[in-house]
Homo-oligomer: A and B are copies of this chain.
Amino acid sequence: MHKFKVIHTIKEVRQCIKEWRKEGLSIGLVTTMGYLHEGHKSLIDRASEENDKVVVSVFVNPIQFGANEDLNTYPRYIERDAKICEEARANLVFNPESKEMYFEDAATYVNVEGLTTGLCGAKRPGHFRGVCTVVSKLFNIVTPDKAYFGEKDAQQLAVIKRMVKDLNFNIEIVGCPIVREKDGLAKSSRNTYLSVREREEALCLNKSLKKAKEILTKGETYSDKIRKTIEEEITKVPSAKIDYIEIVDSLSLSPVEKIEKSVLIAIAVYIGKTRLIDNFTFEKEK
């Protein structure tokens, strides 16, 4: 029988993990901020395939939100999240209160420098420091063998991989492909903010990336050209406001001018007040 429960304290998680470890079972972790969609589900599915036990954390992490960001309005729906987790054969949902995760005098932060200054980090100072800190905490609480992150948050994935390497976490980080709506929009909890019209307009993100991929495949090597192609496509939509269009090295996340090896093409666009991101990685054939 598939056992499943939702728990709220670190102590309970440690107890479960300890029992599983005694039985020699492998453990997969999916860290989320809840309001789960098909993207998260694909991570949980993958974790279930590859591990004996799967833990999903559902925690809207306050320290990764900036002062003017959507911490208070970020969508929450733990009952539905729990149902999705159970159906995807997770074994444990860890859904702590904020005070369970952060003491009043908490003063410790984990930060990855360099990789976090560009892309989303440029406009969201402290965001990745908040992500790295909470992920470190969850790694120490759950001590998984593998942890699953979506390629949609490409910078986050690169940052977490670097953190794990640098701090010697004995955990394999597994990146999972972006899950899209039928019309191509990347799944995101923030899509729920979009009006019907904005939902339509949001397609420009994926469309612009498709065009970029086309000219890359045809042999284009100049980042400027790629950037212009994406820009042209997005500016067709009047309500779209480009935050960034970046072509960077996949590992260092440093901007590249000429495409010679593996690059990440990442964009962030405001559709109305909602900031959406999308990306793809392109491997230049030698």
Contacts and interface: CB of A to CB of B under 8 A. Distances in A.
Interface stretch (A79-87, A110-118, A185-193): A110-118
24 contacts: A14-B170, A103-B165, A103-B166, A105-B162, A106-B166, A107-B113, A107-B114, A107-B115, A107-B166, A108-B113, A108-B162, A108-B163, A109-B110, A109-B111, A109-B113, A110-B110, A111-B111, A137-B166, A137-B167, A137-B168, A140-B168, A140-B170, A141-B170, A143-B170
Interface residues of A, number: 30
Interface of A: 10, 14, 103, 105-115, 132-133, 136-137, 140-141, 143, 162-163, 165-170, 252
A137 B113 CA distance: 17
A40 to B, nearest CB: 23
Contacts of A143: 170
Contact of A10 (B106, B140, B168, B252): B168
Nearest to A143: B170
Contacts of A170: 14, 140-141, 143
Q: Lowest 6 A-B CB distances belong to which pairs?
A: A108-B166, A140-B168, A107-B113, A107-B114, A137-B168, A108-B112
Number of this chain's copies in the complex:
2
Nearest to A115: B107
A23 to B, nearest CB: 13
Contacts of A163: 108
A163 B140 CA distance: 12
A239 B178 CA distance: 66
Contacts of A114: 107
Contacts of A168: 10, 137, 140-141
Given A136-B167, A137-B166, 6 more contacts: A107-B112, A108-B167, A110-B167, A111-B111, A137-B167, A140-B167
Contacts of A115: 107
Contacts of A103: 165-166
Nearest to A138: B168
A108 B110 contact: yes
Contacts of A106: 166
A162 to B, nearest CB: 6
A169 B137 CA distance: 8
A252 B105 contact: yes
